[in-house]
């Protein structure tokens, strides 16, 4: 546990030692506000809620989270520092968890720093703050799932750009799996139970349910399962590459 914490601190500080975290957070803050105001019409809608803001999170994460995740393993492998890391008295899963927690914290920090928007709607009207809290929690959990996929892809390739593109593709499938784009492929032949399960893979469905203000254990559970599964898959890939 202590090792995970040390690694977490090292990784977390690493993000801030280079411009990565600042650029990421800056872009996230600007883009999320631009989307909320200009595409979501947050002000013109005249409703004191943050729907217009949260609605775009899955699409923002689709590009931004793979960008932050792509360097996690690919960079280590490319620069060779992975060998140094592997010689440390930390297991691969500790390293994976340390890295994941550090990046997830950066994402959490970025989310927290969107508080001016929250203040804005509270200044303009009387929003249901319970719904906003639930949506923030949902958004952070969803970011974790995106991140786990991104880190797995980063473990797969030495090339950061390839890792980035692969992560976007896989994440996209998870985002749209509840929509007709994916469901139509199953519609003709699959039983309803399978179809519903595929539909329930969608990040959108689970996130939207949480953004309504209800924290269902199944929605939280879903994001945790996705995160754990992809982190574990990443772990297997690293172990296998190590063996090669």
Partner 1 sequence: MSTRFTTWLSMLFIAILFCALVLLNNQLLSAYRVDLTENKVYSLSQGSEQILTEIDEPLNLYFFFSDKAAKNMTTLRNYAARVQSLLEEYAERSNGKIKLHILDPEPFSEKEDKADQFGLTAANIGTAGEAVYLGLGATNALDDQQVIAFFDPQQERFLEYEISKLIYQLVNPKQVKVTLLTDLPVGGGQNPMTGEFEQPWTFYTQLQQLYVVDKIASDATELPKGTDVLIVAHPKNLSEELLFSIDQYVMQGGRALIFVDPHNESDQMSMLTGAGMGANSSNLARLFDAWGVDFDPQYVLLDAYAGLDVRTQTGDVARHFGFVGLSPNELNATDVTTSNLDLINGASFGIFKKSPRSGLRWNDLIHSTENSDLIDSAQYAQTREPLALSQAYKSDNKQYVLATRLTGNVKSAFEQPPEGIQSETFEQKTKDMNVILVGDTDLLSDRFWVQQSSFFGQTITTPFANNGDFVTNAVENLAGSNALISIRSRGTFARPFDKVEQLKLVAEQKFREQEKILQQQLDETESQLSQLQEQQGEGGALVISSQQQQAIDDFMEQKIQIRKSLREVRHQLDKDIENLGNLIKFVNIVVAPLLLVLLLMGARRLLRSRYNPNKAFSVAKEGQA
Q: Which of residues 102-141 bind partner 1 (CB under 8 A)?
A: 113, 116-117, 120, 123-131, 133-134
**Which of 21, 111, 148, 163 contacts partner 1 by CB under 8 A?**
21
Of residues 142-171, which lie at the interface with partner 1 (CB under 8 A)?
Answer: none
| Cα–Cα distance list, 239 to 50, 89, 95, 134, 157 (Å) | 42, 15, 12, 37, 14
Least distance to partner 1 from the beta carbon of 229, Å? 4
Q: Considering beta carbons, is residue 169 or 236 the nearer one to partner 1?
A: 236
179 counts as binding partner 1 under rule CB under 8 A: yes
For tokens 């985002």, the residue is 175
Q: Which stretch binds partner 1 (CB under 8 A): 13-21, 72-80, 142-150, 167-175?
A: 13-21
Query: Do 20 and 117 meet the contact criterion of CB atoms below 8 Å apart?
Result: no
Q: CB 69 → partner 1: shortest distance, Å?
A: 19
**Smallest separation, CB 224 to partner 1 (Å):** 9
Least distance CB 158 / partner 1 (angstroms)? 17
Report how far apart, in Å, the C-alpha atoms of 82 and of each of 123, 131, 190, 195 are: 49, 42, 43, 41
Contacts within 8 Å (CB) and 24+ apart, 160-165: 160/70, 160/71, 160/74, 160/75, 160/78, 161/70, 163/66, 163/69, 163/70, 163/73, 163/74, 164/66, 164/67, 164/70
The CA distances from residue 63 to 8, 138, 152, 238, in Å, are 23, 18, 15, 24
**Minimum gap (Å) between residue 143 Cβ and partner 1:** 18
Report the site for partner 1 in 203-232 (rule: CB under 8 A).
205, 208-209, 212-218, 221-222, 225-226, 229, 232
Cα 65 from Cα 67, distance rounded (Å)? 5
Residue with Cβ nearer partner 1 (15 or 61): 15
The first and second tokens of residue 72, run together, are 């996690």
- Residue 1 as a binder of partner 1 (CB under 8 A): the answer is no
> Does position 83 bind partner 1 by CB under 8 A?
no
Alpha carbons 177 and 191: distance in angstroms, whole number = 16
20 touching partner 1, by CB under 8 A = no
Q: Which is nearer to partner 1, 33 or 159 (CB)?
A: 33
Nearest distance, CB of residue 75 and partner 1, angstroms: 15
Choose between 65 and 90: whose C-beta lies nearer to partner 1. Answer: 90
């Amino acid at each position: 546990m202590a090792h995970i914490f040390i690694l977490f601190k090292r990784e977390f500080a690493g993000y801030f030692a280079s411009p990565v975290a600042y650029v990421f957070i800056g872009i996230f803050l600007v883009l999320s506000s631009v989307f909320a105001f200009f595409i979501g019409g947050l002000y013109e809608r005249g409703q004191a809620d943050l729907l217009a803001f949260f609605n775009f999170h899955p699409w923002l994460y689709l590009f931004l989270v793979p960008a932050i995740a792509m360097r996690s393993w690919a960079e280590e492998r490319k620069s060779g520092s992975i060998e140094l890391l592997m010689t440390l008295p930390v297991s691969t899963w500790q390293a994976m968890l340390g890295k994941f927690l550090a990046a997830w914290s950066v994402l959490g920090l970025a989310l927290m720093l969107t508080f001016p928007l929250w203040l804005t709607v509270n200044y303009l009207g009387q929003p249901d703050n319970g719904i906003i809290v639930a949506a923030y929690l949902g958004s952070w959990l969803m970011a974790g799932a995106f991140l786990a996929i991104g880190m797995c892809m980063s473990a797969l390739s030495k090339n950061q750009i390839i890792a980035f593109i692969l992560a976007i593709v896989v994440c996209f499938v998870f985002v749209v799996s509840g929509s007709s784009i994916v469901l139509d492929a199953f519609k003709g032949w699959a039983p309803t139970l399978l179809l519903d399960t595929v539909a329930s893979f969608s990040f959108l469905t689970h996130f939207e349910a949480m953004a309504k203000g209800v924290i269902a254990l199944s929605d939280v559970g879903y994001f945790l399962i996705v995160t754990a599964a992809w982190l574990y898959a990443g772990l297997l890939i690293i172990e296998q590459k190590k063996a090669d």
